[in-house]
Chain A
Amino acid sequence: MSDALKSKIQDVFNEPGCGTNAEKSERQRKKGCAKPLTPGAAAGGCAFDGAKIALQPIVDVAHLVHAPLACEGNGWDNRGAASSGSELYRTGFTTDLSELDIVMGYGEKKLFRAIKEVIEAHNPPAVFVYSTCVPSLIGDDINAVCKAATQKFGTPCVPVNAPGYVGSKNLGNKLAGEALLDGVIGSIEPEECTPYDVNIIGDYNLSGELWQVKPLFDKLGIRVLGSITGDARYRQVAMAHRAKVTMLVCSKALINLARKLDERYGIPYFEGSFYGISDTSQALRTMCAMLVEQGAEADLLDRCEQVIAEEETRVWKQLDAYRPRVAGKRVLLYTGGHKSWSVVSALQELGMEVIGTSVRKATDDDKGRVVKIMGDDKHMFENMAPKDMYRMLKDAGADVLMSGGRSQFVALKAKMPWVDVNQEKHEAYAGYMGMVDMVRAIDRAVNNPMWSELREPAPWETPLTETRVLPAITGSCPVTGVPAGVGRPVSLVPPMPPASSAPAPVTAFVSSATDFEDC
């Protein structure tokens, strides 16, 4: 690991914006916040994965992965971050390092050529170059290559230094934020600034979730200047330093980016969520209040309250239609972070019973809110082994599991409805309208008539009422001709028939009495 990367990681770990970190002693803090990974019992992506996930939704950039094939080849185009413009981010670019490249040290040259080719072919506003384990190990200097390429080609080449072995996905997210701070943010000035410019950090616009919220901003006249990173353009990221307020959506992943935007450019930030109705309203309120503090007109607050009132009335009216279909259903939530409580209240208000929620990746604050909403902490759990979850679902301890793709098959194999609420999902559940979509998805899942059919016993699980004895099989097998009761004889391959002699020459044509069409 290079010294630069080492100090960068050290810096990222020392996160004053993070509550957990602030409470630690000086020595603990030095150790870093990454939990040591347990060999044989680790799940989840590496630092490179985290960096790529965080940055890939910048849609018009060429994301070039400097690695042997696996890093990009096994992982490209697998997320549903939606774009309203360029599709370049979905194109998988990699240097596909070969044995020879590694042994002979051709990596840097190959990377430089790859950058040249990608610029020639696609002319992107920038190239993001991701380092991975192998090039870091053999000492490829992607910073130097990027610098040289930027000078030579005039297109910004941004090094993203997050090789997999340095740590977890979360760390990779943070390193990606650092890469943006170092190489992108502040490099372009917007044509004009307004007091209503905001940054949104950490919403990936999965299946269009950002767009479910954007109409609310449009109504309030709020402009999303810097979007890091849902449906983002390179120029937006580069102008992010001119926004007035930053909203941090997925709280922990990119907190370093939000804090440093505050420190360097004086942009205050807040953490919020667009999952659930009250959360969406709360996020809007906070955003408007902070904008007013930053110099926006005070009437923004009134307009905000008006929009919230209108939207909440409308969404509850829409949700009421589903109430009789979902009321009384027991939900097991297995997600983590703020989602462990943010959708709970809405589900409860619709008459659903949340029997448990996982608090993985959740902060103490998150856990506190779970207790507040659910009455006690009995419904809270960290992790649940697939085996236990299978047992619980199989015993019908719940009516539906809401989780990410990893536990999908635990639910399905237990013949239990499942609703995807993590990043791989194909539907957007953000904001007010997203809640309606989510409840519709729950309705569609739990009320599918298929479940009752599937759970019924197989025909052979009920005993036959009358017994019948058939005579022994007689005759011979209709397919092979082998007589019943006789073992199949070993058959020799029959000899090939002699090649037929030349076809008889046509000597004369016989005319048919009928027309061929008639036959």
Chain B
Amino acid sequence: MAKLVHPKRALSTNPLKSSAPLGAALAYLGIERSVPLFHGSQGCTAFAMVHLVRHFKEAVPLQTTAMNEVSTILGGADQIEEAIENLRKKSNPAFIGIASTALTETRGEDVPGELKEIVSRRTDFADTQIVYASTPDFDGGLQDGWAKAVEAIIDAMVPPSTERDPELRQVTLLCGSHLTPAEIEELVRMVRAFGLEPLVLPDISTSLDGHVSDDWSGTSQGGTPVARIPDVARSAFTLAIGEQMRKAAKLIEDRAMVPYRVFQSVTGLKPVDAFVRTLMGLSGMQDPPPSIKRDRSRLIDAALDAHFHTGGLKVAIGADPDLLFSLSNALTSMGAEIVTAVTTTQHSPVIERVAADEVILGDLGDFERSAKENGAQILLTHSHGRHAEHRLHVPLVRVGFPVFDRIGAQDACRVGYRGSRAFLYEIANTVQSIHHRARPEEFGAAPIAEEFEHVPHVASC
């Protein structure tokens, strides 16, 4: 059981955290034909957009209410209205997701109230769904912003119902921010293998999976169709992936009495077993499809081959709580030791379940210092960990967001039996890539006498 530690310092060195509005934007991008809109100054959007583009290597539609000095002081309702109008004209989005920023939150705007007024007055906006989430940059990290956006979507679009009339084959898959498009795809594949139809929310696996479409579009190019979102009320069950999705799942239950289960991790043998067991129960299938059973036995074999490299491995990991928990849990179950755990936000009960003595609420500066002090042999964090990698001469496995110095970040899959297998291979191979050549000095042995060494003469042939 880990203790959450707040370092006593004012200076943050090399941030680990990405901001909450960015997380909200990412969640909004998992809705079909959407445009996320930041209610803030231009820069808030520009930085976030560059971050997203560098990670996904895609054009990302992200807009701003472009608050200026005057509108900041007098109120930004006009800016919001104008932004919506312009966005509708330019890209005709089906969905606009608004995320507040530190600027507008500090001013203290009543955006929900103003938005209500705008929507009721502007009947011409009716065919665009507008959702607002309060995501000040100064509270929480990427996964908090994501969770708030998902909650806002459900709050705005799932109607309360008093009667249960479920589609028994439909399940809602609430995806946390730590899942990559390939990971959502893998979970979808598993759910479908049991004859169930997943309704994914939000679904970045069809919008940010990195594909070329036939036409240019100023909105997201895939994602959960807006018309389908109210249907989560009719699902037989809600599968929430990541502790961050608990509130959203609870909200659906409150609204429409849909039972739910939160999966804090779907990486590693036991967590995936639990997921599969739930699918078995939902589908009434005692005998899962052959592909599932085969994948499990292959994961076991991978674990056997990988444990030689993971046993006793000292790991430093820095990530948002849900990712931190699922990856570190998979590694400790393979005999690894988490010597350094750094996370970004305190709003998560999984932190104390991390198998480390302490989890630092900190930055990559803390990460590097602790990894060095504790003799970490492998680093897991996002691309900015490369500086620590170079200075400590310890290999880095890129996980989380952003991964900007490698391509195909959206294709990394570390969930399900298949993804867990790939993850174990990834770790074991990274360990092996550092070739250790034994030297006599390591054992305290004197080097060989010079007399014995061959002095090459000039070849006489």
In the complex, what distance in Å separates the CA atom of A86 from the CA atom of B282?
63
In the complex, what distance in Å separates the CA atom of A474 from the CA atom of B169?
9
Contact of A460 among B287, B334, B459, B460 (CB under 8 A): B287
Question: A463 at the A/B interface (Cβ < 8 Å)?
Answer: yes
CB-CB under 8 A from B456, the residues of chain A are 123
Q: Is the CB of B448 within 8 A of A84?
A: yes
State the Cβ distance, B132 to closest chain A Cβ, in Å.
Answer: 22
Question: A445 at the A/B interface (Cβ < 8 Å)?
Answer: yes
Residue of A82, A445, A460 with highest tally of chain B CB at under 10 A? A460
Q: Is the CB of B461 within 8 A of A153?
A: yes
State the Cβ distance, A27 to closest chain B Cβ, in Å.
Answer: 45
Chain A residue nearest to B270 (CB atoms) is A453
CB-CB under 8 A from A496, the residues of chain B are none
Within 8 A of B (CB), among A415-436: 415, 428, 433
Contact of A458 among B273, B448, B449, B457 (CB under 8 A): B273
Question: B434 at the A/B interface (Cβ < 8 Å)?
Answer: no
Within 8 A of A (CB), among B336-378: none
- A428-B438, A519-B218 known; A84-B452 Cβ under 8 A: no
Question: A234 at the A/B interface (Cβ < 8 Å)?
Answer: yes
Contact of A191 among B197, B276, B451, B454 (CB under 8 A): B451
Hey, what's the 0/1 contact readout for B263-299 against A, CB within 8 Å counting as 1?
0000001100110110011111011100001001000
Hey, what's the 0/1 contact readout for B310-354 against A, CB within 8 Å counting as 1?
011000000000000000000011110000000000000000000
Q: Is the CB of B286 within 8 A of A464?
A: yes
- A450-B307, A458-B273 known; A119-B459 Cβ under 8 A: yes
How many pairs of A and B residues are in contact by the CB < 8 Å rule? 150
CB-CB under 8 A from A466, the residues of chain B are 281
- A231-B448, A460-B286 known; A445-B300 Cβ under 8 A: no
Q: Is the CB of B304 within 8 A of A444?
A: no
Q: Is the CB of B296 within 8 A of A464?
A: no
Q: Is the CB of A208 within 8 A of B453?
A: no
Within 8 A of A (CB), among B427-461: 437-440, 442-449, 451-454, 456-457, 459-461
- A453-B333, A468-B281 known; A459-B276 Cβ under 8 A: yes
CB-CB under 8 A from A154, the residues of chain B are 457, 460-461
Contact of B280 among A459, A470, A478, A514 (CB under 8 A): A459
Chain A residue nearest to B300 (CB atoms) is A454
CB-CB under 8 A from B461, the residues of chain A are 116, 119-120, 152-154
Q: Is the CB of B460 within 8 A of A450?
A: no
CB-CB under 8 A from A450, the residues of chain B are 303, 307, 311, 333-335
State the Cβ distance, A228 to closest chain B Cβ, in Å.
Answer: 13
Question: A44 at the A/B interface (Cβ < 8 Å)?
Answer: no
Question: B75 at the A/B interface (Cβ < 8 Å)?
Answer: no
In the complex, what distance in Å separates the CA atom of A215 from the CA atom of B449?
14
Question: B168 at the A/B interface (Cβ < 8 Å)?
Answer: yes
Chain A residue nearest to B218 (CB atoms) is A519
Question: A348 at the A/B interface (Cβ < 8 Å)?
Answer: no
Question: B90 at the A/B interface (Cβ < 8 Å)?
Answer: yes
What are 28 of the A-B contact pairs (CB < 8 Å)?
A116-B461, A120-B461, A123-B456, A123-B457, A153-B461, A190-B451, A207-B438, A211-B438, A211-B442, A223-B449, A233-B448, A234-B454, A412-B304, A428-B438, A445-B311, A450-B311, A454-B269, A454-B303, A456-B273, A458-B293, A458-B296, A459-B273, A459-B277, A464-B280, A464-B284, A466-B281, A471-B169, A519-B218
Task: Kindly list the 7 A-B residue pairs having the minimum CB-CB distance in the complex, ordered from nearest.
Answer: A208-B438, A468-B284, A214-B445, A125-B454, A448-B335, A123-B456, A211-B443
Residues on B close to A: CB < 8 A? 90, 168-169, 192, 195, 197, 218, 269-270, 273-274, 276-277, 280-284, 286-288, 293, 296, 300, 303-305, 307, 311-312, 332-335, 437-440, 442-449, 451-454, 456-457, 459-461
Residues on A close to B: CB < 8 A? 60, 82, 84-86, 116, 119-120, 123-125, 152-155, 190-191, 207-208, 210-212, 214-215, 218, 223, 231, 233-236, 239, 412-413, 415, 428, 433, 444-445, 447-450, 453-454, 456, 458-460, 463-464, 466-471, 473-475, 478, 514, 519
Additional 15 contacts, C-beta under 8 A, given A218-B446, A428-B438: A119-B461, A123-B457, A153-B459, A153-B461, A212-B443, A214-B443, A218-B445, A234-B454, A412-B304, A413-B304, A444-B312, A449-B333, A450-B333, A456-B270, A514-B90
